[in-house]
Amino acid sequence: MAHGKFGTAINCMDGRVQLPVIEWMKKQYKLDYVDMITEPGADKAVSCGWYERIEEIKAKALISVNAHGSRTIIIAGHDDCAGNPVTPEQHKANLRDAVKTVLSWNLPLETVGAIWINKDWRVEPLEIK
Ligand SMILES: [Zn+2]
C-alpha cells in the first residue's frame, strides 16, 4: 500500500480546474495526494457516457481505491466547460447523476461527492454522500 492518504477526483481535463480541485480536496478531507482521473466533460462522461467509457473511468478509480487506499471519490464539473458546454444547471444535474453512477460501483468508499467550480474558479460542494 502506498504511503500517505489518497483521495480520487474524476475531473475535467481542463487545466484551469486541476489545482482548485486538488487544493479543495486536500483541505476538506485532510489528504496527502489526489489521484486525478481526467476526461473532457467528466460530469457528462460519468452520468450519461457510453458504457465502455464509464467502465474505463471505473477501472482507473479501482486502481486508486485498491492500490492507493482511496476512500473518497469526488466528481467535479465546472463553468465554461468545452467538453460539456451546457448550463450550470445541467452540469449540476449531470453531477448528481454521476454520484449515483459512482455509488452503483459499490466500492469501499467513505465519501462520494460532487463539486461545482464556478466562474470565479471557486469550489462549491454540491452533493456529498
Ligand atoms: Zn471542462
Summarize the confidence of residues 61-71 as an average pLDDT. 98
Instruction: Write down the pLDDT at residue 129.
Output: 82
pLDDT for residue 2 is more than 90 = no
% the chain with pLDDT above 70 = 99
Name the residues around ion ligand 1, CB cutoff 5 A: 12, 14, 81, 83
The residue written with cell numbers 452533493 in the block is 127
pLDDT for residue 104 is more than 90 = yes
pTM for the complete prediction? 0.96
Residues 75-91: tens digit of each pLDDT? 999 999 999 999 999 99
Which phi and psi angles does 35 have, rounded to 5°? Answer: -70, 130
Residue 74 CA to ligand 1 center (angstroms) comes to: 15
Q: Find the distance separating the first CA and the last CA of the chain, reported in whole Å.
A: 25
Residue 91 CA to ligand 1 center (angstroms) comes to: 10
Q: How far apart are CA 86 and CA 61, in angstroms?
A: 25
Residue 84 CA to ligand 1 center (angstroms) comes to: 6
